[in-house]
Amino acid sequence: MSTIHRRRGMWSGYSATPGNPTYRNYPDAPHFFDLLTKAKDHPDKHSVPICHLHVEGTAQSISKREMSDVVLVLVEPGRRDPDLFSCFLCCKEEAQVLT
């Protein structure tokens, strides 16, 4: 008989049986993995790059609009190289300042 190993920290209320992946304990896991896969494959369509300065306002907006299938990608504040993700609100603020 296998023993249950307890974890410490933020997820201490959850347990895993050795040999069984922990995601199988959660019925919504396939849905979340699908969202992450879509965000990875098509980041411009299925993810929102946001910095730590704007994440609270974005979370409130998502809550008000009841958007349930959004993947937030935490990036550094400010505008970055065109090939890298930039916080869209930082870019928007910078564009307003320049005009």
Range(s) of the domain holding residue 53: 42-99
**Domain identity same for 35 and 46:** no
**Domain identity same for 10 and 37:** yes
* Composition of the chain by helix, strand, coil, percent to 5: 45, 15, 40
**Domain identity same for 26 and 47:** no
What confidence tens digit (pLDDT) does each residue in 30-75 have?
Answer: 888 899 999 889 888 888 889 999 999 888 888 888 888 888 888 8
The pLDDT assigned to 97 comes to 77
**Domain identity same for 37 and 24:** yes
The pLDDT assigned to 53 comes to 92
pLDDT above 90 coverage of the chain, percent: 7
Half-sphere exposure of 62 toward its Cβ, with a 13 Å CA cutoff?
15
Q: Which residues contact 18 (CB under 8 A, 6 or more apart)?
A: 2, 3, 5
Top-confidence residue, 55 or 80:
55
- Whether the predicted pLDDT of 7 surpasses 60: no
Domain count, the chain: 2
Q: In the beta sheet, which residues pair with residue 72?
A: 48
**Domain identity same for 34 and 56:** no
Assess contact for 76 and 49: CB atoms under 8 A.
no
The pLDDT assigned to 30 comes to 85
Query: What is d(CA 2, CA 9) in angstroms, rounded to the nearest whole number?
Result: 23
Q: Please give the average per-residue pLDDT across 24-30, as a whole number.
A: 78
**Domain identity same for 53 and 86:** yes
**Domain identity same for 51 and 85:** yes
